[in-house]
């Protein structure tokens, strides 16, 4: 290889990187790739979700600083680089009717304006591959949907010499993926495995509510089961957001590694030749980068 492979993962809040694609990133780092996590907001409006830490006035008064420290810990565990895009968390609106989003928040920024700092980062870091969320945000949090819009816009603009002329020398990433970690097939497989072992599955109600919701096209399954422990360590590092005794840890690690040993993605743009299905985000890129 004449050039190190580079992966950029764009996320909405600190902790998203550890719940979506963390084992993939840990694997690629240890195989010699450079990995940069871009965090669009500081998570300032996030609630303390870990019941063990709820009600702590010091945490609640300094949630932005606490979440930055959690991000530092998770970054170190995964071995990735990390950059803040600098926007303010929009919060998750609740109620009927939904309240308006707070003035100045990330989700209210014009996409063309919000894409500029990400274009600048793409041109500085020069990723071969970019990952982010689909148009539904993975789930309909306004910051996740905005992250999707901004990342797609930046992916298209980064290589255009007429766009964002003051944001550095053009660089065109070669592949764009959407994280697709929660599919019905995966949930069903883990549920069935738990039941077969005589264990209580956390997914029974999920499957009952799934209904007619469609499935995304999973094009790429990255084997990374050996890195699930690092993924979990990074997730637990986000202590305000994750209860180590909570929902996400009810399926034993060994069951996850045996039943679904991959993290899954949807390839949506590729400027290199690749054959689907894939087992590598850098499929097609490795040949191109070696030229």
Q: Which residues are annotated as a binding site?
A: 13, 16, 144
Contact call for residues 59 and 66 (beta carbons, < 8 A) = yes
The CA distance from 53 to 76, in Å, is: 22
Neighbouring CB atoms inside 10 A of 175's CB total 26
Q: Record the tokens describing residue 286, joined without a space.
A: 């490795």
Neighbouring CB atoms inside 10 A of 48's CB total 17
3-class secondary structure, 157: helix
Task: State CA 89 to chain mean position distance.
Answer: 16
Q: What are phi and psi of 82, to 5 degrees?
A: -150, 140
Contact call for residues 131 and 85 (beta carbons, < 8 A) = no
The conformation of residue 276, written as its DSSP 8-state character, comes to: S
The CA distance from 111 to 139, in Å, is: 19
Binding residues for Zn(2+): 13, 16, 144
């Amino acid at each position: 290889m004449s050039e190190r492979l580079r992966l950029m993962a764009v996320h909405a809040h600190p902790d998203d990187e550890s719940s979506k694609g963390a084992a993939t990133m840990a694997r690629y780092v240890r195989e010699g790739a450079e990995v940069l996590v871009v965090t669009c907001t500081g998570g300032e409006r996030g609630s303390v979700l870990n019941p063990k830490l709820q009600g702590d006035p010091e945490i609640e008064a300094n949630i932005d600083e606490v979440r930055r420290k959690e991000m530092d810990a998770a970054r170190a565990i995964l071995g990735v680089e990390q950059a803040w895009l600098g926007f303010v968390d929009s919060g998750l609106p609740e109620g009927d009717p939904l309240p308006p989003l707070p003035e100045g928040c990330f989700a209210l920024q014009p996409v063309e304006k919000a894409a500029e700092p990400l274009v600048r980062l793409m041109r500085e870091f020069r990723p071969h591959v970019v990952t982010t969320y689909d148009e539904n945000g993975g789930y309909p949090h306004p910051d996740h949907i905005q992250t999707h819009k901004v990342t797609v816009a930046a992916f298209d603009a980064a290589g255009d010499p007429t766009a964002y002329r003051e944001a550095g020398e053009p660089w065109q990433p070669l592949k764009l993926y959407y994280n697709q970690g929660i599919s019905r097939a995966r949930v069903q497989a883990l549920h069935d495995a738990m039941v077969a072992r005589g264990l209580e599955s956390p997914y029974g109600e999920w499957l009952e509510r799934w209904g007619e919701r469609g499935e995304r096209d999973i094009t790429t399954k990255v084997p990374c089961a050996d890195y699930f422990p690092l993924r979990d360590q990074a997730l637990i590092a986000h202590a305000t957001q994750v209860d180590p005794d909570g929902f996400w840890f009810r399926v034993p690690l060994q069951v996850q590694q045996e039943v679904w040993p991959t993290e899954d993605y949807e390839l949506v743009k590729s400027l290199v030749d690749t054959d689907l299905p894939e087992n590598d985000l850098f499929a097609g890129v490795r040949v191109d980068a070696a030229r």
